[in-house]
Structure 1
């Protein structure tokens, strides 16, 4: 096999028979156990081996995801309204799909991989990374997932298990591309369901004979009991006969109705809902081929689908390998361009940083000049105010000096006048002394 293999499915806790089988049933627990290689769910594998955990970014360990799903399922309750209008709550139905899975298979056989694990590991690891990356790109917010790889069956293959933890009912069908498309079509269009043939009118069943009131007379009561017993026996026989006739009527109707519906489906062909479902899955395979198959050198379809000859199929595989090699070269060149672009961007960021520093310096100089100008204006204003104050003070001092000089002159006049008076008094005293002496 040199073509891609990619399958998606959803599961509930209720076992569901696998289409095309008589006694093969799948459930969420069974799928989880098979992925984890639990013994009771791995009997189809000759020598089960522990799975390899894919520890990529965004994934959780498988056992953690299993425990998480079961814990969430057990904690969910639904509020419903009955036909009578009564509101009640119940646990999530066990047939509600709560587990989403994907199976990715690689063309390399497990034996080939294990024969030279060191050489084959990079190719398988790259394929697994691309598949997980594509899965994560398609999933909405709130999805939790785990991935494991098996090397104990025919081909190397990987299981991705996911839960829609962001949904209140863990609705896994909202992650299934085909079911999402079918639901969207149903919601926006008239139903295309075929109308069944009218059911036949069934023969009414006889009423069960009632028991008469007890009699005080033993003989009478004995006869009544015997009569009631005989009536019950006849009623049972009549009922069985009518039920058998009704069963024949229903069987004949069911056969006629199945033929009617089958003819209607054949005449109608696929419904638009089925086309929406198939188209969505076909597009999913196309997108998967672009994201995973082509880069890994895988074909979109196998040889049977196009009825290719062995030579044509070999040629197609060589072409696919050549495309993958060219994509690898382009990817390598893209990485170099990315590195160069990153270096240029780094240098540009440095220039921008320098420019920011320069602009910041210029802004600082402008701010400093403005501050100095403001300080100069403030100093000039203070200087002018100081000069004005000094002039006023000088004028005030001169007035005070003049007043002091006038006071000093007046004081000198007073002193001279006082000295003259003292001198006059002294002369008088001398005269008086002379008079007294004489």
Structure 2
């Protein structure tokens, strides 16, 4: 069982001079060229391959952004930022199996993919919007990922590297609290150890990787084997917990689906019952209405018949009256009666 590897470092547009030497450290552009596998910067790679971007922008785009911000930034005195001032943080983390092993063993490849996904998720949590690029390299002996973090240019055109580097941030806070140089170094070291601890707790422990290697704590071989056994057991425990959580979620999801289906069936049955009752009531109302209409029609017919009889009687009486008037006229009596 191997141990984790995580390293971060800041870079400037022009590498600063090395201590007691005229040579300069690598610049951010040197790191960019190595990352993108520029021909002049990857002599250590037998067969260079284009890196796979796992997150964010391409390295070219990210370093161009860092350079553009640096050209506009100023220091605390308001002067243009020095070309050797750190303006970007670059890190690397690797997986212990060889690329050849991954390509020949699906189980190892699956574990590598799990580590890679966990590592990228950790980077996002750690740096948020400042994380601009994550790339994967599989053309060296062991697989690894590079990541690039860029600070935001403030409104007053400051570009504080402490905003993205935990060590510098801790040292800066200690200095602001009037801490000595020794205090600042201690704060810096503790912050960087904290970064490694957080990476171990959130990523490495899940995959059975150790926090540190065998030489640093000077363990005996027996102690080293016991530590590896514990790491494997802890990784298995994490896997068991994740499996249990997945099973619990699946059971809960199934129960919720069952309850939802039962509730839906009950609701549909209630709707069907109400609909049937409504249809029955409507049918009864229709029947009563038909019967009522039929009765009204019969009454109308009766009234019409009665009216027809009355009209006939009136017509007969009118005819008789006309006949009497005719007789009176014939006898000269109509004028005396004023008819």
Superposed pair shares fold, TM > 0.5: yes
Q: Is residue 104 of structure 2 the alignment partner of residue 118 of structure 1?
A: yes
Distance in 2, matches of 1:180 and 1:373, equals 79
Q: 1:185 to 1:405 in 2, by over 3 A?
A: farther
Q: Aligned-pair distance for 1:318?
A: 1.7
* Corresponding residue for residue 69 of structure 1: 63
2:255 to 348, 356, 362: 348
Long gaps (5+) in structure 1? 194-264, 426-438
Matched-pair contact (CA < 8 Å) for 1:9–1:100: yes
Matches within 5 A, 1:350-389: 350-365=257-272, 368=275, 371-372=278-279, 375=282
Q: How many residues align?
A: 326
Query: Which moved further from structure 2: 388-397 or 67-76?
Result: 388-397
Distance in 1, matches of 2:33 and 2:210, equals 31
Q: Is residue 128 of structure 2 the alignment partner of residue 140 of structure 1?
A: yes
Q: 1:344 to 1:298 in 2, by over 3 A?
A: closer
Distance in 2, matches of 1:388 and 1:93, equals 107
Distance in 1, matches of 2:281 and 2:83, equals 81
Q: 1:373 to 1:305 in 2, by over 3 A?
A: same
Q: Is residue 224 of structure 2 the alignment partner of residue 317 of structure 1?
A: yes
Q: Is residue 88 of structure 2 the alignment partner of residue 99 of structure 1?
A: yes
* Corresponding residue for residue 3 of structure 2: 3
Q: 1:409 to 1:156 in 2, by over 3 A?
A: same
Q: Aligned-pair distance for 1:289?
A: 1.8
Q: Is residue 38 of structure 2 the alignment partner of residue 131 of structure 1?
A: no
Matched-pair contact (CA < 8 Å) for 1:36–1:50: no
Q: 1:148 to 1:380 in 2, by over 3 A?
A: same
* Corresponding residue for residue 34 of structure 1: 34
Distance in 1, matches of 2:126 and 2:34, equals 25
Q: Aligned-pair distance for 1:140?
A: 0.9
For normalisation by structure 2, the TM-score amounts to 0.70
Q: 1:72 to 1:382 in 2, by over 3 A?
A: farther
Distance in 1, matches of 2:151 and 2:284, equals 70
> Counterpart of 1:278 in 2: which secondary structure?
helix
2:315 to 374, 385, 408: 408
Q: Is residue 20 of structure 2 the alignment partner of residue 23 of structure 1?
A: no
* Corresponding residue for residue 164 of structure 2: 175
Distance in 1, matches of 2:144 and 2:20, equals 24
Q: 1:365 to 1:26 in 2, by over 3 A?
A: same
Matched-pair contact (CA < 8 Å) for 1:10–1:173: no
Describe the superposition over 1:125-152 as per-residue Cα deviations: whole angstroms up to 9, x where unpaired.
Answer: 5544443332233231363222233665
Q: 1:338 to 1:302 in 2, by over 3 A?
A: closer
Describe the superposition over 1:129-183 as per-residue Cα deviations: whole angstroms up to 9, x where unpaired.
Answer: 443332233231363222233665xx73624222448767786643322234445
- Indicate the RMSD between aligned Cα atoms, in angstroms: 4.7
* Corresponding residue for residue 286 of structure 1: 197
Q: 1:164 to 1:397 in 2, by over 3 A?
A: farther
> Counterpart of 1:161 in 2: which secondary structure?
strand
* Corresponding residue for residue 12 of structure 1: 12
Matches within 5 A, 1:249-328: 270-271=182-183, 273-308=184-219, 312=220, 314-328=221-235
Long gaps (5+) in structure 2? 332-339
Distance in 2, matches of 1:341 and 1:134, equals 25
* Corresponding residue for residue 53 of structure 1: 51
For normalisation by structure 1, the TM-score amounts to 0.57
Q: Is residue 147 of structure 2 the alignment partner of residue 161 of structure 1?
A: yes
Describe the superposition over 1:257-292 as per-residue Cα deviations: whole angstroms up to 9, x where unpaired.
Answer: xxxxxxxx5xxxx22x44443322221111222233
Distance in 1, matches of 2:207 and 2:328, equals 139
> Counterpart of 1:156 in 2: which secondary structure?
coil
Distance in 2, matches of 1:91 and 1:298, equals 45
Matched-pair contact (CA < 8 Å) for 1:15–1:25: yes
Q: Aligned-pair distance for 1:70?
A: 0.7
